[in-house]
Chain A
Amino acid sequence: MIHQFDAVIVGAGGAGLRAALEIPEGYSCAVLTKVYPTRSHTGTAQGGVCAALGNEEEDSWEYHFFDTVKGSDFLGDQDAIEIMCQDAIRAIIELEHMGMPFSRNEKGLIAQRPFGGHTKPKDPNNPFGERVPVKRACFSADRTGHVMLQTLYENCIKRGVQFFPEFFVTDLIVQDNIVRGVVAIEIATGEIHIFHAKTVMFATGGYGRVYRITSNAVVGTGDGFAITYRRGIPLEDMEFVQFHPTGLWRLGILISEAARGEGGILRNKYGERFMEKYAPTIKDLAPRDVISRAMYTEIREGRGIQGPDGTYYLLLDLTHLGAEVINKKLPEITGFARIYLGVDPLKEPIPVQPTTHYAMGGIPTNVDAEVVIDDKGTKVEGFYAAGEVACVSVHGANRLGTNSLLDIIVFGRRGGKKMAEYIKEHDFAPLPKDADEWTRKTVERLLNSNGKERVAHIRRELQEIMMDKVSVFRTADGIKEAIEKIKELKERYKEVKIDDKGKRFNTDLIEAIELGNLLDTAEAIAYSALNRTESRGAHYREDYPNRDDQNWLKHTLIYKNEEKEPIIKYKPVVITKIPPMERKY
Chain B
Amino acid sequence: MKVTFRIFRFNPETDSKPYYKDYQVEADPKDRVIDVLHYIKNEIDGTLTFRRSCLHGICGSDGMRINGKNMLACSILLQDLGYSDIDKTYKKPIVVEPLPGMPIIKDLVTDFTDFWKKYEAVKPYLITKTPPPERERLQSPEDVELIMEASKCILCACCTTSCPSTWSNDNYLGPAALLKAYRFIFDSRDEAADERLDIIDTSDGVWRCHTIFHCVQACPKEINITWHISQLKKKLVEREI
Contacts and interface: CB of A to CB of B under 8 A. Distances in A.
A330 to B, nearest CB: 13
Nearest to A156: B125
Contact of A106 (B53, B77, B141, B152): B141
Given A99-B187, A141-B148, A505-B106, A104 B59 contact: no
Contacts of B32: 340
Contact of B132 (A97, A150, A506): A97
Interface stretch (B40-48, B81-89, B227-235): B40-48
B195 interface: no
A234 B70 CA distance: 46
A567 interface: no
Interface string A90-124: 00110011110111111111100000000000000
A441 interface: no
A96 B189 CA distance: 10
A332 B58 contact: yes
B105 interface: yes
A38 B60 contact: yes
A336 B144 contact: no
B126 A39 contact: no
Interface centre among B14, B56, B60, B106 (most CB of A within 10 A): B56
B12 interface: yes
Contacts of B101: none
Contacts of A366: none
Interface string A304-320: 00000000000000000
Nearest to A103: B144
B216 interface: no
A497 B47 CA distance: 12
Query: Majority SS of interface residues in chain B?
Result: loop
A93 B151 contact: no
B75 A505 contact: no
Contact of B13 (A36, A39, A44, A503): A503
Given A99-B189, A110-B136, A44 B49 contact: no
A158 B195 CA distance: 15
A150 B189 CA distance: 17
Contacts of A104: 138-141, 143-144
Interface string A193-207: 000000000000000
B56 A105 contact: no
Given A39-B59, A109-B138, A502 B53 contact: no
Interface centre among B13, B14, B136, B187 (most CB of A within 10 A): B136
Contacts of A505: 49, 105-106, 109
Contacts of A147: 151
A519 to B, nearest CB: 17
A339 interface: yes
A213 interface: no
Interface in B38-77: 41-43, 45-47, 49-61, 75, 77
Contact of A35 (B11, B12, B14, B53): B53
Contacts of A218: 52-55
Contact of B139 (A40, A108, A157): A108
Contacts of A499: 45-47
A501 to B, nearest CB: 8
B125 A155 contact: yes
Nearest to B135: A93
A97 B136 CA distance: 7
A188 B112 CA distance: 12
B154 A44 contact: no
Contacts of B189: 99
A217 B55 contact: yes
Contacts of B164: none
A335 B51 CA distance: 22
Given A499-B47, A504-B105, 11 more contacts: A39-B53, A99-B126, A104-B139, A140-B151, A143-B152, A217-B54, A217-B55, A332-B58, A340-B56, A455-B42, A505-B105
22 contacts: A35-B51, A44-B56, A98-B126, A101-B187, A108-B139, A109-B135, A109-B138, A143-B151, A143-B152, A154-B124, A335-B57, A336-B56, A456-B42, A500-B46, A500-B47, A500-B49, A502-B13, A504-B11, A505-B106, A506-B49, A507-B41, A507-B50
